[in-house]
Structure 1
């Protein structure tokens, strides 16, 4: 088991950017990719807000970033870390394929969509239930769908689907949306046009359908106890994300799973453990954008470089 100057866990925009900067600093970074090289962004079919790219798929963007990091000497290892010991430096990581040690660590493990927890939801995942409108909206062209949630993510998903689907039912447990005013205004316009139908003060209690046909509707329950079935062919769940930080939960300080950074004022991406840094969605519950993840990935590598200079 060799000791590395820096190990980066995660290969999305944060992890790849950290690898690029760490490689340029001659830190010989090792990137533990997780289950899939490129992170969740590879599932996004069309990205139109990455600077310099009018339109690019998530797969192509991440391929460019990975190849860039590799061209500078970053080593990518396909492994899933399931145990970490951050009590002493060098830190020790155990994965399915091996054991690793590092003087500094960048956690860039991202976050996964939060689901409703319904048995029927699990049954229809991939067969009518999705957490990514840009990934799967195409399959429901000119069909009615439901979006669950009332925040920025849900409203943005609903706006995207409103231009594809015949109607979008926006199911929200409160009586008003909790999103940016500009986004709410755009949704209100779609409501006026009849493309989005708000379903306020309601939660989805069941997802209806069959193995053969997939989703055929949702059962919603209102605050007053009334229940109603709405016919839809797709259900998009947009009620937040769960940071992939479980293996670090008892070792670094978190807030509802999101790693708290900036604990040492000298290092913007520092965690509560000296020498451990965090970047991307696992440390950001607010923006969750590819470009902001890349930015914190850059910061984490620069912080790790400075830490090594000051502590070795």
Structure 2
């Protein structure tokens, strides 16, 4: 039995592992898809204090290496069930059971989809949710990005260095991203903003060949020929496996304050999976440290 079970191998979860191992606690981190979390999709991180710029992958690799060097155990398995036991908590992942005396939920959030017909079918055939992962496949071609926040503009900026033309489609009449990202986007001649429009249809049989766009003000539709669409319309939490263990809010986020304590004693929530007003790299790391220290304090009292 581990002292701490941590669900999620992103910035929050790995930071929690670092702090817990430095406190001498045994730690297992369970990650369902890929260690590093959302930050690995960022081509350039420029808002980490004390560092001018670093790629998201480099940042995540460094954090993972640090946690492993400190003695963290890790399993690439998705947790499908969680329950409280007499000695702590039990998690089901990959057909196996993992036990721990306390639990930190750092499940992050997953990419929100457009919920369009054939979106799932064309995923990987022109429809993507990660510009850094798939952008190179469409080098020299016309592409589109759906979204108006920081993630969307960062994706467009990254793709503008690879693709011939990047259409940036946003349903509102102005972008919601940081002004610095907007200015950078405006400085790229091959990024074409298409405001007050939303993607309402996907064209193509075996692969994406174009989009149907609808004007949000007039309802008028138009066709846009592109070979790829990168969806960047936000994230949603992935906390369903823990709904019977901790209280969730209406949007599915774990109810937990700045102390990272949940409704279930011995369970803590860190990072993007919990209720909060700001979801950034710095707040994920802060949550991870707070949750780990709180969990260690909990362990020392039982």
Do these two structures clear the TM 0.5 threshold for a shared fold by scoring above it?
Answer: yes
Query: How far 1:58 moved relative to its partner?
Result: 4.6
Listed as ranges, the gaps of 5+ residues in structure 2 are: none
CA distance in 2, matches of 1:164, 1:114: 24
CA contact (8 A) 2:42 2:154 kept: no
Q: Is the 8 A contact 1:45 1:135 kept in 2?
A: no
| Corresponding residue SS for 1:118 | coil
Question: Where does residue 92 of structure 2 map in the other structure?
Answer: 94
Task: Tell me by how many angstroms 1:171 deviates.
Answer: 1.6
Question: How far is 1:63 from its partner?
Answer: 3.9
Matches within 5 A, 1:59-208: 59-86=57-84, 90-187=88-185, 189-190=186-187, 194-208=189-203
**Any stretches of 5+ residues in structure 1 without a counterpart?**
none
Give the Cα–Cα distance (whole angstroms) in 1 for the partners of residues 79 and 118 of structure 2: 30
**C-alpha contact 2:255 2:274 (8 A) present in aligned 1:** yes
Tell me the distance in 1 between the aligned counterparts of 2:233 and 2:198. Answer: 11
Deviations 1:116-161 (A, max 9, x none): 1123322221221111223322333332211111222222322333
Contact 1:46 1:134 in 2 (8 A): no
Deviations 1:162-210 (A, max 9, x none): 34332222222222223333433444x34xx643323233221111123
Q: Does 1:272 align with 2:234?
A: no
SS at match of 1:270: coil
Q: Which residue of 1 aligns with 2:242?
A: 248
TM-score, L = length of structure 1:
0.83
* Aligned-pair Cα RMSD in Å: 2.7
Deviation at 1:38, TM superposition (A): 3.9
2:277 & 2:167 partners in 1: Cα distance? 25
In the alignment, the residues of structure 1 paired with residue 30 and residue 228 of structure 2 have an alpha-carbon distance, to the nearest angstrom, of 35
Distance in 2, matches of 1:104 and 1:306, equals 11
SS of the equivalent of 2:204 reads: strand
Tell whether the 8 Å contact from 1:150 to 1:172 is kept in structure 2 after alignment: yes
**Structure-1 separation of matches of 2:5 and 2:201:** 43
**What is the CA–CA distance in structure 2 between the aligned matches of 1:50 and 1:176, rounded to whole Å?**
27
Q: Give the 3 Å change call, closer, same or farther, for CA 177–65 of structure 1 in structure 2.
A: closer
More displaced stretch, 199-208 vs 278-287: 278-287
Change (3 A) 1:79 1:132: closer
Q: Displacement, 1:277?
A: 0.9
Contact 1:48 1:54 in 2 (8 A): yes
In structure 2, the partner of 1:234 is: 228
Question: SS where residue 242 of structure 1 aligns?
Answer: strand
Q: How many Å separate the matches in 1 of 2:27 and 2:122?
A: 40
Aligned length: 300
Partners of 2:53 and 2:175 lie apart in 1 by: 29
